[in-house]
C-alpha cells in the first residue's frame, strides 16, 4: 500500500535522519536496515518501500549532507557580492559543519570508504565534486574579472580550494582540539588568498 499523500517526504526525511545517526554511531559496516528502521521508528516494510537496501540509504544520506552543506553556504553568502567575502563565507560555512554537525563529515568518510570499491558510488561522488568545483570556480571567475585575483583556471582553482576546506574540515572532525574554528578559517583564507593573489 502506498503512503498517504504528503507523508512520503516526511517518512523519507525520518529514515535518512536515522541513517545519518546510525552511520555516525556505528559506521557503514555495522549499518543494518533493522537498526535504521528501529531508530526511525518505522516498520521494515515501510523502510523497504522507500529504500531497497542499505546502499540506497547511504546514497540518500550523502545527498542529504551535501544539500545541507550547500544550504549553509548559500545562507552564509546571501547578499554578499564581493568575491573575497563570498569565499570567506563559503570557507566558514564548510568548516563550521565539522564543529557543529560532526556526524555530517562522518557520513562523507563512510561514503568515501565504500566508494573506493563501488563504481556507482564513485560516479555519484565525482558528480558532486564536479558541481562544487564549478560553484567555487564561478566565484573565482568573478574575482578575476573584477581584478581581485590573478588569472587561474576556474575549475582547477575550485578543486584546490575544495581540497583545503575538506582537509581542514576532516582534521576538525577527527580532532576537535587540533585548532579552533577561527584558526582553521584563518589558515584556509591565508592559503587561498595567497594562491589567488596577483603577482
Segment 78-108, tens digit of pLDDT? 888 899 999 999 999 889 988 888 888 899 9
Statement: residue 177 has pLDDT above 60: yes
Average pLDDT score over residue span 55-60 = 94
Q: Are the beta carbons of 15 and 49 closer than 8 angstroms?
A: no
What is the reported pLDDT for 1? Answer: 47
Task: State residue 151's pLDDT score.
Answer: 95
Structure confidence at residue 2 (pLDDT): 52
Domains (ranges, CATH) in the chain? 7-196 (1.10.357.10)
7, three cell numbers: 507523508
CB 75 within 8 A of CB 149: no
> For the packed helices 119-145 and 102-115, what is the interaxial angle rounded to 10 degrees?
120
**Mean pLDDT (whole number) for 119-131:** 93
pLDDT of residue 116: 93
Average pLDDT, the chain: 91
What whole-number distance in Å separates Cα of residue 51 and Cα of residue 45? 10
Question: What cell was used for 179?
Answer: 585548532
Q: What is the pLDDT of residue 74?
A: 84
pLDDT of 6: 73
CA distances from 153 to 37, 100, 190 (A): 46, 33, 20
Q: Taking a C-beta distance cutoff of 8 angstroms, is the pair 26, 18 a contact?
A: no
The confidence score (pLDDT) of residue 193 equals: 96
Q: What pLDDT, on the 0 to 100 scale, is given for residue 9?
A: 87
- Torsion angle, CA of 174/88/146/151, rounded to 10 degrees? -20
In the chain, the percentage of residues whose pLDDT exceeds 90 is 73
The rounded distance, in Å, linking the Cα atoms of 39 and 18 is 6
pLDDT band at 22 (very low <50, low <70, confident <90, very high): very high
- Mean per-residue pLDDT for 37-55? 92
- Look up residue 165 and give its DSSP letter: H
Position 32 pLDDT exceeds 90: yes
The dihedral through the CA atoms of 2, 65, 174, 170 has a sign that is positive
pLDDT band per the 50, 70, 90 thresholds, residue 3: low
Whole-number Å distance between alpha carbons of 17 and 101: 13
By mean pLDDT, which of 2-11, 28-37, 61-70, 91-100 is the weakest? 2-11
Amino acid at each position: 500500500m502506498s503512503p498517504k499523500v504528503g507523508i512520503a517526504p516526511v517518512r523519507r526525511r525520518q529514515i535518512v535522519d536515522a541513517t545519518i545517526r546510525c552511520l555516525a554511531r556505528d559506521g557503514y559496516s555495522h549499518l543494518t536496515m533493522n537498526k535504521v528502521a528501529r531508530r526511525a521508528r518505522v516498520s521494515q516494510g515501510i523502510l523497504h518501500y522507500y529504500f531497497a537496501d542499505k546502499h540506497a540509504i547511504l546514497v540518500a544520506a550523502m545527498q542529504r549532507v551535501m544539500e545541507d552543506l550547500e544550504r549553509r553556504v548559500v545562507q552564509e553568502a546571501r547578499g554578499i557580492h564581493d568575491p573575497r567575502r563570498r569565499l570567506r563565507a563559503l570557507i566558514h560555512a564548510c568548516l563550521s559543519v565539522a564543529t557543529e554537525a560532526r556526524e555530517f563529515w562522518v557520513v562523507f568518510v563512510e561514503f568515501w570508504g565504500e566508494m573506493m570499491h563501488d563504481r556507482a558510488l564513485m560516479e555519484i561522488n565525482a558528480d558532486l565534486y564536479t558541481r562544487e568545483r564549478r560553484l567555487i570556480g564561478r566565484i573565482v571567475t568573478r574575482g578575476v574579472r573584477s581584478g581581485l585575483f590573478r588569472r587561474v583556471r576556474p575549475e582547477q582553482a575550485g578543486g584546490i580550494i575544495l581540497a583545503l576546506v575538506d582537509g581542514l574540515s576532516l582534521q576538525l572532525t577527527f580532532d576537535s582540539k587540533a585548532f579552533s574554528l577561527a584558526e582553521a578559517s584563518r589558515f584556509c583564507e591565508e592559503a587561498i588568498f595567497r594562491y589567488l593573489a596577483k603577482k
